[in-house]
Structure 1
Amino acid sequence: MAKSINTQSSLLISLPNEVIELILYSESIDYITLTRLCLVCRRLNTIISSNKIWYMQTRRRWRIWHHCGREIRLKQSDILDLAGVTEWKDVFMNRLIREQTVNSFLDKISHDYLLLDKDNGLVDDSKIENSNLLLGQDYLMETLRELISDEDCDRNLSRKFYASSVYSYFKWKQLLFSLNFVFGEDSSSFCNTMEHISIWLDRWMNPTEDLEYFDYSREFDSMADRAKLQLTDGASEWDIITAIDRVMFTEDGYRVNDNFYSHKNSYLHNVLRTKKGIYITLSVIFQAVASRLGLVLFPVSFPRCFALGYQENASETVGVSPSNRTQFIVFVEGNRVRKVSEQELSILDINQNTLENLSSIGTVTARMLANISLNLIDKESHDSVEECLSYIKSTELLLIFIPQIDRSISQSLFNAYLNLNYNTNKCLNDSGDSYHIQTSFERSTDDIFIEIHTRLPTTAPHVKEYPIGIIVRLNSNNHYGVVCKWSTGPVLSSCIYGVLMDDNRREILYCVHDITPCLSPLETRRINNPLIGKYFSHFNGLYYQPIPIMRKLYPDDEAYMHSLFSNFAEVEFVSEQTI
């Protein structure tokens, strides 16, 4: 394939840019072919030299090169040298050094970082900023993603946990930077601001979707090109709006989602894929297309509907000006737009100050966030922990970053936020002689902190201590977990155990004597809990190996664990250094 492309470069030049990009993403194209194609013409050189194509090619080749054995890797390096192509080798060797730096840093964190009860497991900012991780920014995020998604589930748990923490830190830094960039834009570029905010919000609320490479602009550009074909010279603002209306709603089938109160309607990538959204996200798309056709539309956050405004002679005026006549369009029946009539405008009694407030960037962003938060609050129950975390993220941004929001709305959201904390609490163990715990989402992180509410039993039989790392089963509901901490109670004669539950959530159950240890290979199992790596380095098939700092906190548990599993000598106690 690469050879045919190289020999028929004239055919390649005649293709549209989008088609060329798809071809160049092929795994069959090597560095030499790309280099030769760069020499064919300036247009190909511009396309190939884009960061996206070079990055994708490096990414693919790195995976092949990185996952092969060391001997094969050295042979491949020799082949690259003989071929005179040292660029790939230099990139890979540099990246390998960065990966080793990242791994060393994560190992140091897992060895030295004190795990206090109040600690949420996130790495201290100063530890990252003062490290040499920042030297590897080019490949840092992908290296962390590879560690997080490592297929080997039983080993390097601690490294994966802290990789996730560092990854979250840098994502947070990136998003804060983009937030400041968007909110600090000059008002002259306001026509693009709603598009930028929607993309930023989409990426922030959906970190697992990997939307960094989602091409939002391609859909907007395509719609604008098709709408432009329907316009003639001297087209009016309404002519442009009508053309966009025809392309967006008639040709492409965009419409208001029947499931109007789903929070997913507020995520731009989801609306572009499904062609279904709510008025504000449809307005974002409509405005983005209009801006590409030279028409300035500005958002207007009316109380009961979201509209777009424009002014006569908009091509000569940017933003909202009292000297020009303002018109408004709204979406009706879910699949078309219409003008707001003069009678409706007289009832609204809009003055210049009101219009500026309704169109302010803070008001519009607050409404986007409120749609997500309120739609999640209104649900009787949340389908997944991701929905709860999405609610927390949107509400946090709404309460912290948007000071322009109405105080009554802010207060009602905050009250609903507190209610959600209590309403989603789970009584994992409500028996009369055990501890009853509640979990709440901690504000400012996606972690969970524990509130312990003790219900002291009248009698407390002595229970032999179980070491950290042992798999246990709850007698009350047969759920499984792993002991991650224990302490002797101040009143009880038994131990209080902190158990990471097998529920794929960040929850710890604190209990007294309602657990039974699993002491055979038939009973033990892997525990799915995001906090596993905070306390344990790997799973050896019978129990979890604590990280070094936990072994220091519980020095006698290692020997005790050996005695419990003395009948299973084939399972060795693997040290941290062998990982």
Structure 2
Amino acid sequence: MEQLPVEIIEKILVNRKISIEDVVHFSLTCHHFHNIVMNSNKIWKTKLFEKWPQFRSVLENKHIIFQHEIRYIYELKKRTRSMLEKMPPRFYKKYEISDSDLHEWSVILHEREEVYNYLVNDLMDIVNTEAAIKSIEVVPLSTPGNKTLQYYANKVLRYIRQLHLSKVWKSYISLPQPRQVLEIGAIFVAQWSQPNVEVSFDEITGKLDRIADEVKHALRLSHPTHSLFKTPPEEFELWRFENRTENRWNVPECRQLITVMREVLFQQMGFSGNNQAYYMPQNSFINEVLDKKQGLPITLAIVFEAVARRLGLRCEPISFPAHFLLRFCESSDPDSDWYYIDVFNGGQVVRKGACPHSRFSGSRDLFPVATAVQVVERMANNLEVSARQHAHPNGRITRLRSSLELLKLVNPRDISALVSLARVYMLHNMDTKSLEHFLLSQEFEVPEQAQRVVHMLRDYEAHHAHTVAGYDQVEAAQRTSNLQFAVGMVMQHLTLNYKCVIYDWDPVCLAAAEWQAQNNVDKLHLKDDQPFYNVLVEDGSHRYVAQENLRPTADTGSIHLNDDVGRHFSHFFETHYVPNAEKEKEYPADRKVRHMYYQKSVQDRYQL
């Protein structure tokens, strides 16, 4: 084989069935093959794009040594896992991790331009691993499928995505107005709010292209002589990413196209407003709206406008105080007929005289066209409302924090949002210095309000020392004889019927008297003189529950969807959740109780 030409050896090694590991092993067989492999950029480039095709757009046209790039990617993976494994001891006692706590990740991002893509890909692999862990004991953090590793990977993923998207936003708003198309803003919101979901720009725009093609097909059947079919492809391509200043067609052809559009989107494809769950966050995410064909007025309007623009029509987004419509004028003549399209209600046409928001005047300029920035800001406001309505008061706060940080980016002078964000930081003992610096660096129109927030933050800083919980600060809890259950056991509430998992307990109720009065603790059989358990509930919340209100259950319900499961547990094993190393250190005696419960469950199954 040593006599084979280099070209033949390269051709063999670039075969898809040969992995990077195979190439490395082959190179170790002798010096001759080692030199061929190490000096062949073709082999390493082929192998890199076979293993990570998503990196092709980032690296394709770069003059790099691909073997070095592969080595860097693997070394970065090791560093990523090493850094993640140091996080649980540091942050076990912290409910929310401050951006300042994650600063070391931003340092890595500056090493080279491609690091962001490499990190996101690696963290997404960790987060989306569904490997089952079949062990009743505590497992190492590095075990594939470990929920604690996934929990912290999610935290880092959110941080680095939003760092990157902050730069994307600045680039977007620096574009000339005609280039600030609405779907790009909507994609930005979806990416910001769903850091562990791959919302691809190409995928979203491709779906909008396909809807436009469906409209063209329907138009050809009903109006085959429409001028649209004489338009060159390059003109359609220009319309994809540039806002229109006027319609491309005459009035009759505009009417034909709008009619077909409404039929295709609302009758054939079934796009509609989601009345049953209006403020669910998914209604604000364009990827979800395109998949499920349901959304808020604003996201449905963005879809409709994007398709209309691809077909040479101009639809103007109008942000009414309590609704969001598209205004359509059939010609550029200011005195010509115009109307609203209500995308939330099946594309219903609302004439200007029939619209309650136009009762003051027939003028087309009564409500100005919403800019792309204003549309994104309204979407962020919707997400804040959604987070407040659909997050349990004592549940996870990450969605609210994320929406407020989005508002801070989109409208840095929104004092109300900044005050709310400051309160979130203070409530969860987070570092407020970055917000303080931000307020002092802004040129607010109402500086006295900004100064008031700064004073509030400084007062908080003066009275709250920020300590990072270390591993050695976790003290072992001592079980008492009245404790029946253990950390990790899956329970059902006897009256409210929800499923939950215990992650903490107190031998007696330690809640404040006001909380006890509000929750009728005095009406319990044993009142406050019984164990109370902190539990993670399947609705995403955490609650404090009396022992007499809980019973073990084999039904885990939707507990796995609670984002905080990984903060306390590494995996689920048959009957219960297994604590991670930090939780096990805090509740070592609970292991025996869990094991006894597991053994009893096994015996009961055999008896059946």
Aligned pair in 2 of structure 1 residues 293, 535: CA closer, same or farther (>3 Å)?
Answer: closer
Q: Which amino acid aligns with 1:481?
A: V
Q: Which amino acid aligns with 2:130?
A: E
Number of the residue aligned with 1:138: 117
Q: TM-score, normalised by structure 1?
A: 0.55
Aligned pair in 2 of structure 1 residues 237, 278: CA closer, same or farther (>3 Å)?
Answer: farther
Aligned pair in 2 of structure 1 residues 65, 495: CA closer, same or farther (>3 Å)?
Answer: farther
Number of the residue aligned with 1:173: 163
Q: Which amino acid aligns with 1:291?
A: R
In 1, distance between residues paired with 2:511 and 2:387?
41
Number of the residue aligned with 1:245: 258
Number of the residue aligned with 2:43: 85
Offset from partner CA, 1:83-114 (integer Å, 9 cap, x none): 96232163554432221111111112234x14
Offset from partner CA, 1:195-227 (integer Å, 9 cap, x none): 222222334445555322662223443455626
Aligned pair in 2 of structure 1 residues 196, 510: CA closer, same or farther (>3 Å)?
Answer: same
In 2, distance between residues paired with 1:343 and 1:515?
54
Q: Give SS of 2:306's match.
A: helix
Aligned residues of 2:538 and 2:558 also touching (Cα < 8 A): no
* Deviation for aligned residue 1:231: 1.6
From 197, 209, 217, the counterpart of 2:205: 217
Aligned residues of 1:500 and 1:508 also touching (Cα < 8 A): yes
Q: Which amino acid aligns with 1:364?
A: V
Number of the residue aligned with 1:349: 361
Aligned pair in 2 of structure 1 residues 98, 480: CA closer, same or farther (>3 Å)?
Answer: same
In 1, distance between residues paired with 2:386 and 2:260?
30
1:330 aligns to 2:359 (yes or no): no
Q: How does 1:254-273 map to 2 (within 5 A)?
A: 257=272, 259-260=274-275, 262-263=277-278, 264-273=282-291
- Deviating more after overlay: 78-87 vs 245-254: 78-87
Number of the residue aligned with 1:507: 542
Q: Give SS of 1:211's match.
A: coil
Aligned pair in 2 of structure 1 residues 474, 260: CA closer, same or farther (>3 Å)?
Answer: closer
1:198 aligns to 2:194 (yes or no): no
Aligned residues of 1:265 and 1:271 also touching (Cα < 8 A): yes
In 2, distance between residues paired with 1:222 and 1:526?
35
* Deviation for aligned residue 1:294: 5.0
1:149 aligns to 2:128 (yes or no): yes
From 98, 105, 110, the counterpart of 1:128: 105
Answer 1 or 2: higher relative contact order, Cα 8 Å, separation at least 6: 2
Offset from partner CA, 1:160-189 (integer Å, 9 cap, x none): 221111112123223433344444443343
Offset from partner CA, 1:49-82 (integer Å, 9 cap, x none): xxxxxxxxxxxx89x959xxx7898469989977
Q: How does 1:5-44 map to 2 (within 5 A)?
A: none
Number of the residue aligned with 1:231: 227
In 1, distance between residues paired with 2:205 and 2:329?
25
Q: Give SS of 2:341's match.
A: strand
1:287 aligns to 2:305 (yes or no): yes
From 344, 364, 387, the counterpart of 2:375: 364
* Deviation for aligned residue 1:285: 3.0
1:115 aligns to 2:92 (yes or no): yes
Aligned pair in 2 of structure 1 residues 277, 138: CA closer, same or farther (>3 Å)?
Answer: closer
In 2, distance between residues paired with 1:270 and 1:309?
25
Aligned residues of 1:244 and 1:289 also touching (Cα < 8 A): no
Number of the residue aligned with 1:533: 566
* Deviation for aligned residue 1:330: 1.5
Aligned residues of 1:299 and 1:307 also touching (Cα < 8 A): yes
Q: Which amino acid aligns with 1:109?
A: M
Number of the residue aligned with 1:454: none
Number of the residue aligned with 1:432: none
Aligned residues of 1:223 and 1:247 also touching (Cα < 8 A): no
Aligned residues of 2:305 and 2:315 also touching (Cα < 8 A): yes
Q: How does 1:172-571 map to 2 (within 5 A)?
A: 172-190=162-180, 192=181, 194-207=182-195, 209-212=197-200, 215-222=203-210, 224=212, 226=216, 230-231=226-227, 236=249, 238-239=251-252, 241-251=254-264, 253=268, 257=272, 259-260=274-275, 262-263=277-278, 264-273=282-291, 275=293, 279-293=297-311, 295-303=313-321, 306-309=324-327, 328-331=338-341, 334-335=346-347, 337=349, 340=352, 347-349=359-361, 354-356=366-368, 359-361=370-372, 363-369=374-380, 397=406, 401-402=410-411, 463-464=480-481, 470-472=487-489, 477=494, 481-484=501-504, 499-501=534-536, 503=538, 505=540, 507=542, 509=544, 528=560, 530-536=563-569, 544=578, 546-547=580-581, 551=585, 554=586, 558=588, 560=589
In 1, distance between residues paired with 2:596 and 2:110?
45
Offset from partner CA, 1:401-437 (integer Å, 9 cap, x none): 4579999xx9xxx9xx99xxxxxxxxxxxxxxxxxxx
Q: Give SS of 1:137's match.
A: helix
In 2, distance between residues paired with 1:281 and 1:525?
32
- Deviating more after overlay: 80-89 vs 153-162: 80-89
Number of the residue aligned with 1:3: none
Q: Which amino acid aligns with 1:544?
A: V
Q: Give SS of 1:170's match.
A: helix
Aligned pair in 2 of structure 1 residues 561, 376: CA closer, same or farther (>3 Å)?
Answer: closer
How many residue pairs end up in the alignment? 439
Overall identity of the aligned pairs, in %: 17
Q: Which amino acid aligns with 2:501?
A: G
Q: Give SS of 1:269's match.
A: helix
- Which stretches in structure 1 are left out of the alignment for 5+ residues? 1-30, 37-60, 315-322, 419-461, 571-579
Aligned pair in 2 of structure 1 residues 463, 127: CA closer, same or farther (>3 Å)?
Answer: same
In 1, distance between residues paired with 2:325 and 2:580?
57
Q: Which amino acid aligns with 1:169?
A: Y
- Which stretches in structure 2 are left out of the alignment for 5+ residues? 1-9, 49-66, 134-138, 231-246, 425-478, 513-527, 600-608
Aligned pair in 2 of structure 1 residues 275, 239: CA closer, same or farther (>3 Å)?
Answer: farther
- Deviating more after overlay: 340-349 vs 271-280: 340-349
In 2, distance between residues paired with 1:335 and 1:540?
50
Aligned pair in 2 of structure 1 residues 465, 509: CA closer, same or farther (>3 Å)?
Answer: same
Aligned pair in 2 of structure 1 residues 184, 354: CA closer, same or farther (>3 Å)?
Answer: farther
1:102 aligns to 2:80 (yes or no): yes
In 2, distance between residues paired with 1:406 and 1:185?
26
- Deviating more after overlay: 98-107 vs 275-284: 275-284
In 1, distance between residues paired with 2:559 and 2:102?
29
In 1, distance between residues paired with 2:24 and 2:486?
37
Offset from partner CA, 1:543-576 (integer Å, 9 cap, x none): 735436973xx4xx65x568779999x9xxxxxx
Q: Give SS of 2:227's match.
A: coil
In 1, distance between residues paired with 2:510 and 2:323?
58
Aligned pair in 2 of structure 1 residues 250, 171: CA closer, same or farther (>3 Å)?
Answer: same
